[in-house]
Structure 1
Amino acid sequence: MRTFTDTDPFVRLRAVNGHVREPRRWVPLDLLEDNDDDLPETDWTLGQVLTPESGPLFYEYDFGDGWIHRLELTGTLPMPANAPRARLVDGARRAPLEDSGGIGGYYSLLDALADPRHEKHSDLQAWVAWTAGPWQEFDPEQLDINGVHKELALLFPAPTANERDPGSQSLTQELAHRMPPGLRREFRSYLHAAALDGPATVEADVAEAMTAPYLWLTRRIGHEGLSLTAAGWLPPAVVREAMTELDWAKDWIGKANREDQTLPVLQLRESAQRLGLIRKIKGKLILTSAAKRLLDDPQGLWLFLARSIAHRHRHDSERDATLLLLLEVAAGKSTEWADYLETITFGLEALGWRSHTGAELEPNTVQSLLVDAHEVLLNLGIFNDRFGLKANTIKASGQAFARAALRS
């Protein structure tokens, strides 16, 4: 809840000529019925009530915690053309967390977080992660002025700007819009910090190296197609060739000549089908029209795969999990697969996903939603550990791929 008033709530009004001036309060429409003397905030502008002659204005946010803000007009300047309608000139520290108990409660929270021996240290750490999300480390000293400006631009769009069609929202904007209101600012702040405006392209030689498995398979199938065995598998000679040409044989135990027993080749073929590069028709693998165009265009294939991983999914939950994974890859901060799962699980639950019984999501459930996307990232060399047991340091080329996917 919120309200504006022209009287300092902490100062007792004095009588002037035997009369005590009644403070004015501007409140939301749903609070008007509580006091007939209150004024509807929708009928007034800040320009009408905050003037050099009026004195300061006070804004109370969250009546339970009682955050009081003093607003004072110190002067006016002409607004340059194309200037933003609101901007932050300077400041210090980040905003307090919602429901942290006002000034006293917030400082008590900071004291407990700073003291590992505090009896509530672990519980409050968990509460902060639940309140602000796991996307960034909570730092009470941080002030992200650039992030504040982007939030202000969303709240106060330029009057000449054309309204965007909802369907034209970026994938990350759409995710942020679906987050609970209390998490949206934190999530958008993470989007800003994740450098999503960084490079989303790579050089031709890098694209060729990253797409090598898909290039090899599509070129091996070729314009004429590739006949499968009677049982519907790739011929043993092709399986052996794939394992050798892609340098996968050294890490595989087995003969590597049967597709049903050679997981990397089977997963590559299935991944290429899901991504829209190949189809299975009448006992043959054939290239899609898109794949035919991209046989000699590694950079084009790289972009095609980026768009496909972001948009081709069997279920909306799989789509959301994939986008959250791509965001983590673009940020490039996580190394352990368990950290990816923890952050993505939080994001999915914030977006409203639950198990079929309504329970919280288990790690193995989230893992199953990420199988296809994880396989693509493995094939591209963005992750270097197929089984998620080793650390994965994301290179700049992997971050660029994730950005390209999220911008598609």
Structure 2
Amino acid sequence: MSQATADMVRHDEVIEAPVIHAPIQWRFPIAAMVMAILTVIFATISKGESVFSMAGASRAFEISNLHMNSSPVVWTLAVLAIVFAGVATYLAMNRKKYVAMFTGLAAVAFILGFLVWIVAGRTGATMPVVQLLQGAVAFAVPLILGALSGVVCERSGIINIAIEGQLLAGAFMGAVIASLANSPLIGMLLAPVAGVLVALLLGLFTIKYRVDHIIVGVVLNMLVLGLTSFLYSSWLMNDPSRLNRASFLGRYPIPLLSDIPVIGPVFFNQTILVYLMYIIVIVLQFMLFRSRWGLRLRACGEHPKAADTVGIKVNRTRWRAVMLGGALAGLGGAFFSIGLGLAFTKNMAAGNGFIALAAMILGRWNPKGAVAAAAIFGFATNLGYVMQSVNNSIPYEFLLMIPYVVTILAVAGFVGAVRPPAMEGKPYP
């Protein structure tokens, strides 16, 4: 064979590279199948009538309660959950899109089935739809603001484990200032100052003295818990009528929007703190990903050396991000006192700062994702309280566990492989 012929043969050979498929992600299909099985169990044990109260669903007219035979309703939801779980499994096995969407649909069927089962056959028990949703929005406020605090800080490169302490400090400041000024609005406006004070310590030790961020955050949480508990016992309790009165921001219905059935009372008949949270989410989502400020902030968390070479003051940007994050968390802490109309008590934050961290991670360090995750946790929190009011047989302690169990399952089962900002927790220079 001549050299020319050999070269032609080599050119004609087709070498097929092996096809490498990405591993199948089973976490969503498995979760969907588990929820489908649980919905079937609810359908099996559901007996009698379920009543859903529509009280307060509309300010313009009265909406009668929904009465339904629980067994066929829950069985229908169980079939839907099975179908959605099957579709999610098929899509996952074939590496298609929309697996998470069908898992979410299975979750919706599961939750509805659970709600129907809770009040099935219980005399005098009704599921308050508007109260459940309205409370879920309210309870999501500190989680959303806390998660946004974490997003801003960690996008700049600072790990903010101190969200719990900032929430607690905001609750303390909000309650005390509202009592002294006899104005819950002033208390709300000054609550961020307490969060900023905690953030100053966070920035001092992490940015200036380059201490490990996790250790600083944990220590600050313990410091704020001890300090507020000491001040509560030694100062506030001496004159609670003047220093620690229960103050409530009050609800302000938005004209026209609040008249929309169900949606209006849930989203547009809230406190000013909730409306402020709506604005913050929209503005922060835009600023982080559509502005020069956001680009510089994210550059400091991803590649601070590159940011420094183009003239960005990395540590100054991080200081500002930490201050902003502290203000957001402090504002969220005001919810626990003046947002709920309560006087300050020890450890009012009750671990919500850590749930906010979970919402931030589940939301992949994105404001809109963090909002969605925080809304789930807020719904779980309010569901525990609502279940106590419908004469449920589940022990009280288990109901209090609901938001924390949901947090663990969400982070462990649905987060998967996420990538935080590349240089978070690392000092510069």
TM norm structure 2: 0.24
- Structure with more of its chain in helix, by fraction: 2
Q: Which has the larger radius of gyration?
A: 1
- Does 1 or 2 have the higher relative contact order (CA < 8 Å, sep 6+)? 2
TM norm structure 1: 0.25
